[in-house]
Structure formats: structure tokens, C-alpha cells
Structure 1
Amino acid sequence: MILTILGWIVFGLIVGFIARALVPGKDNIGIFMTIGLGILGSVVGGLIFSLFSGRFTLSNPVGWIGSVIFAIILLVIYNRVTGRKRVGR
């Protein structure tokens, strides 16, 4: 159980960092928001995209792609709603 939770935290962190790297500009969110963004993106996006392949596992490339895409969408929505996005120099 603890390893599963740690696995989701690490997975969320990786997906969140990838999403932050792909969205241009500077993001003013911390590590916990990055993890939350990645986990939420992973659950929803991974589930949606895994329906196309028929399996939902952390090693499924389609699930990874869906996780990152949905995390990017969530990050853009978050930045628009809060107005926290600043253009990086």
C-alpha cells in the first residue's frame, strides 16, 4: 500500500515536471502543486487514453502520453484561472 502511494507520488512528480517543461513561461507553483497536477493528470488523462489500448498500467505508453497531455491542459487552465503565469526571460 505504501509503495503504491509512493509510486503515484513519484509518477505524479515526473508527469507534473514534464507538463511544466512543455508549457512555455515560468510557472509559479510549488512541488506539491506539481505532484497534484501530475497525479490528477495521470488519473484522468491516463484513464481516458488507456481506454484506447484496453489496459491501465504505469508502464503503458498510451497512458503516459494521456497523463502528460491532460496535465498540460490542467496547468494551462490553472494558469488562466489564477492569472499566475508570468512570461519567463
Structure 2
Amino acid sequence: MGIIWTILIGFIAGLAARALLPGKQAMGFILTTVLGIAGSLLATYLGQAMGWYTAGAGADFVASVVGAVVVLAIYGFIARRR
């Protein structure tokens, strides 16, 4: 159930991260959602590696939004360089 919760929170976190990031992003709803889920998974696994979360527990909403902002910013930087 932990991974499903992480994906659900990642979906919402991706939308929140897109609203928080300044500037115009040229990506659609689905890509924003996928990158948000990736950010949530990143926050979950980094949190588990650092001992903040127990095994099987997902990251909270704030950590997921931060992870999603990081992933969206990295994507924006890479996409801009092409």
C-alpha cells in the first residue's frame, strides 16, 4: 500500500510543484504528473535511506512536493539546453 500512496501523493505533488515553479513550463499534464510521481518516489527513497521514514512508509506531502520541484527543475534545465 505504501507505493500506491506514494504515487497518489506524487500526482498531487507534481501539480503543486508546477504551480510553485516560476516561469513558463512547456510540458503537458501527463508529463507533469509523471515527473511529480518521480519526485515523490525520489523523496521516499532518499528519506528511507537517510532514516527519516521506515521501510514501506512513503514520504509526506511536503517532502514529495520538494522532490517534485527538484525533478521538475532538473527537467526544465535539461529541456532548455537542447
Flag whether TM exceeds 0.5 (same fold): yes
Percent of paired sites with the same residue? 32
Gaps in structure 2 of 5+ consecutive residues: none
By how many angstroms is 1:53 displaced?
A: 3.7
What is the rounded CA distance, in whole Å, between the counterparts of 2:54 and 2:34 in structure 1?
Answer: 25
Q: Judging changes above 3 Å, is the alpha-carbon distance between structure 1 residues 81 and 18 closer, same or farther for their aligned structure 2 residues? A: same
Higher relative contact order (CA 8 A, sep 6+): 2
Gaps in structure 1 of 5+ consecutive residues: 85-89
What is the rounded CA distance, in whole Å, between the counterparts of 1:13 and 1:54 in structure 2?
Answer: 22
Moved over 4 A (4+): none
Number of residue pairs matched?
77
Structure 1 length as normaliser, TM-score? Answer: 0.67
What is the rounded CA distance, in whole Å, between the counterparts of 2:22 and 2:56 in structure 1?
Answer: 29
Structure 2 length as normaliser, TM-score? Answer: 0.71
